[in-house]
Structure 1
Amino acid sequence: MIISLENPQISASFSTKGGELQALESKQSNLKYLWNGDSNFWGKFSPVLFPIVGGLKEDTYFFDHQTYHLPRHGFARDRAFEAHKIADDEVLFLLKEDTESLKVYPFNFQLGLRYQLIKNTLRCSYEVLNTGAKDLWFSIGGHPAFSVPLKPGLKYDDYYLEFNQDKQLNVHQVTNNLIEEATAVIALTTEGKLPLNHQLFYQDALVLKDLKSNKISLKSDKDSHGFDFHFEAFPFFGIWAAKDADFVCLEPWCGIADGVHHDQELRNKEGIINLAPGKEWSQYWEVTIY
């Protein structure tokens, strides 16, 4: 089922499958800011990554002397959420544990995805509640894909990403979905710009553990339209596109794929969040379009 939101400036639509944002449009310019989900390249739009981010070593983790298996990025993106439309400009999607999830993830939880339209900004909030009697261990992250180019007639490499606090990116290599310890440096311009080109992502995502910026903007010297992507307190970040696809994913993560030397114990997973019974955790990112 598709849920639509709008205010005087922007409109957005979402699917109950995965609680996924699937469209974001300016009502002034009629520009579509989100990727179109072309399955020839990548058939998703903005999936939530839960209860893990990235891949597990051998798709396996250990918890309390038991062995469990999860696919890359977990299961929430493929589950049906309950939709609660709060207003014309706000919707809350909820997912809870069930018999199937408990087979692969032995925790009681409630995952909320709250979307709000605030003028020309879309805010996505993650709200995790521990509904069980034991500690909840989880990771979570965003994976929104934005259309590039935005303006007809322009090319992918007419655009760049502008970082508000970084002058270089220390990128961790990804090998078989696992994170290497060594980094490669990508220098930015003196203005903090990273020119986009498809070759940037031929080896996989740019995985960042020490990003200083809390805002990344998509801009072009040939286009007055773009957006600001704002995020706080996400310790990891990914930037990705499918090979030769006309989009870029900006991915704020609370959690990260296993390292190549990880012992596969869930409690020892890098970036894992530990939430006590009855407690709630929340975080958000937002995109402002213009």
Structure 2
Amino acid sequence: MISLENTKIHASFSSKGGELQSLRSKETNLEYLWSGNPDYWGKFSPILFPIVGGLKDNTYYYKDKAFTLPRHGLAREREFKVSQISETEILFTLEQDEESLKVYPFEFRLGLRYTLSGDMLSCAYEVTNTGDQALWFSIGGHPAFAVPLREGLKYGDYYLQFNKDHQLISNKIKQDLIDDETETIALTDGKLQLKHELFYEDALVFKRLQSDSIFLKSDADPHGLEFQFKGFPFFGIWSAKDADFVCLEPWCGIADGSHHQQKLEEKEGIMSLNPKEEWTRQWQVTCF
């Protein structure tokens, strides 16, 4: 485990997947991240790259050749290199190798830059096309936050507060693919009360979310967090069945649609970079 800290918060990471695995307040000793209990879901905050969600038949086609990738891609299971580190910032990097080229035929450098500032942790995704052809990719976050944040409270004591939405329109997931069928979820003053049943049929997936900030709060607890995510066109909210966490997932990309023809360049939300171009997005979580 690799750690960063300032006077307010302490964060720990694993080089496998460049994954954030702990985010703790030094003032209250509250742990804001999910515990990673493998009985429910053994991850904490994986990176989704070079796809988000599932592929139809786990397969895509590029230049008339078939390639296979598992749900959410390959990066979360790979060993990242620590390229830079200070007391309050760390940069993990991953590049293509012989194994990745068999399933994803592109040269790239993926950077995960974590920075602490006061009560805030930021996670920046930095993608560079190091090859001589267009780089096609999607990328997303999957951080899981503990609910409840302290003993004596229940999952249903907490809610998500959206800064711009008055209702949510979620696309159904069927067999790991995005369906055209949608569900409208009413909000009360921008609030979505958490309950385990929300996620019994998989994640809530939003293609038209207006908000770029979501608070996790409880009327019975003064502590919570704000999650900010400007520049991400898709968003997911998920929890494993009856588990004590909620994932807030900003995405540049989305799972294949039920009727997708599986060509990588035509995948919904796919992005491309010209040779030597760089691209970046970031999300931030502020603890209180």
> Above 0.5 in TM-score?
yes
By how many angstroms is 1:55 displaced? 0.0
Quote the residue 2:173 is aligned against: 174
Quote the residue 1:67 is aligned against: 66
For 1:38-117, what aligned pairs fall within 5 Å after superposition? 38-117=37-116
Q: Deviations over 1:160-215 (max 9, x none)?
A: 000000010100000010000121100000x2000000000000000000000000
Tell me how far apart the structure 1 counterparts of residues 170 and 207 of structure 2 sit (CA, whole Å).
8
Quote the residue 2:157 is aligned against: 158
SS of match in other structure, 2:276: coil
SS of match in other structure, 2:48: coil
Aligned length: 288
Q: TM-score, normalised by structure 1?
A: 0.99
Quote the residue 1:7 is aligned against: 6
- Amino acid of the structure 2 residue aligned with 1:239: I
For 1:136-147, what aligned pairs fall within 5 Å after superposition? 136-147=135-146
By how many angstroms is 1:151 displaced? 1.6
Quote the residue 1:277 is aligned against: 275
Tell me how far apart the structure 2 counterparts of residues 36 and 86 of structure 1 sit (CA, whole Å).
25
Tell me how far apart the structure 2 counterparts of residues 205 and 68 of structure 1 sit (CA, whole Å).
26
Q: TM-score, normalised by structure 2?
A: 1.00
Q: Deviations over 1:216-259 (max 9, x none)?
A: 00000000000000010100000000000000000000000000
By how many angstroms is 1:268 displaced? 0.2
Q: Deviations over 1:134-157 (max 9, x none)?
A: 000000000000000002100000
Tell me how far apart the structure 1 counterparts of residues 66 and 158 of structure 2 sit (CA, whole Å).
45
Quote the residue 1:219 is aligned against: 217
Structure 1: runs of 5 or more not aligned:
none
Tell me how far apart the structure 2 counterparts of residues 86 and 56 of structure 1 sit (CA, whole Å).
35
Tell me how far apart the structure 2 counterparts of residues 212 and 102 of structure 1 sit (CA, whole Å).
37
Structure 2: runs of 5 or more not aligned:
none
Q: Deviations over 1:23-64 (max 9, x none)?
A: 000000100000000000000000000000000000000000
SS of match in other structure, 1:242: coil
By how many angstroms is 1:84 displaced? 2.9
By how many angstroms is 1:87 displaced? 1.1
- Amino acid of the structure 2 residue aligned with 1:273: M
Aligned equivalent of 2:262, options 261, 264, 281: 264
By how many angstroms is 1:85 displaced? 4.0
Tell me how far apart the structure 2 counterparts of residues 75 and 180 of structure 1 sit (CA, whole Å).
24
Tell me how far apart the structure 2 counterparts of residues 75 and 65 of structure 1 sit (CA, whole Å).
21
- Amino acid of the structure 2 residue aligned with 1:284: Q
For 1:113-152, what aligned pairs fall within 5 Å after superposition? 113-152=112-151
Matched, 1:228 2:226: yes
